[in-house]
């Protein structure tokens, strides 16, 4: 088990790179099956999902497209619950099968706003694909169709997830060690 120090916090390995890659392959297979013939548009939520979105796209076996949106609801290690759109969506979503690709669904506030915003653009469907979900922390009712891992209410970094913009480059997932 590896230990890393990021700024003033200590983290230890909780999910290996091999486990992450295996779950992404399984998710891509499921999404490819479900979306066969629909040419889905994947919308990656920046910054956290960029590594997950790239690896997911490489495993997709059907025609599909990808774009990115940037929303924010985090400050340090806690969700502020206030979402602001930073970079918008330029694609025409009318009649499209849209899959939101997120790194982690925590309270669900960010995802709820994103789904509501996309819904006004008349897509055929909106599905959520997340690397991590914290079921015990969810405050919003969400239908999360694709989730690689359900995790406890711990703060994690690595594989695109950060602590104050640090740690995104780590290949494994590290959990905050309470000191």
Residues acting as catalytic residues:
106
Rounded-to-10 torsion of CA 163, 166, 172, 176: -30
The secondary element (H helix, E strand) that includes residue 149 is strand 146-150
Gap between the Cα atoms of 76 and 79, Å rounded: 8
Q: Does the N-terminal peptide bond of residue 47 adopt cis geometry, omega within 30 degrees of 0?
A: yes
Gap between the Cα atoms of 64 and 32, Å rounded: 9
């Amino acid at each position: 088990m590896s230990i890393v120090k990021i700024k003033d916090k200590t983290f230890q390995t909780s999910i290996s790179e091999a486990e992450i890659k295996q779950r992404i392959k399984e998710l891509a297979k499921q999404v490819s099956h479900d979306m066969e013939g629909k040419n889905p548009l994947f919308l990656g939520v920046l910054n956290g999902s960029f590594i997950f979105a790239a690896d997911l796209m490489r495993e997709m076996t059907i025609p599909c497209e990808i774009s990115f949106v940037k929303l924010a609801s985090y400050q340090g290690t806690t969700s502020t619950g206030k979402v602001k759109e930073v970079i918008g969506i330029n694609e025409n979503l009318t009649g499209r099968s849209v899959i939101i690709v997120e790194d982690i669904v925590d309270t669900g506030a960010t995802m709820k706003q994103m789904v509501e915003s996309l819904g006004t653009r008349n897509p055929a469907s909106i599905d959520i694909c997340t690397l991590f979900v914290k079921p015990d922390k969810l405050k919003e009712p969400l239908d999360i169709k694709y989730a690689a891992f359900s995790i406890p209410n711990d703060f994690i970094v690595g594989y695109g997830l950060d602590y104050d913009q640090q740690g995104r480059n780590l290949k494994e997932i590290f959990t905050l060690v309470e000191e």
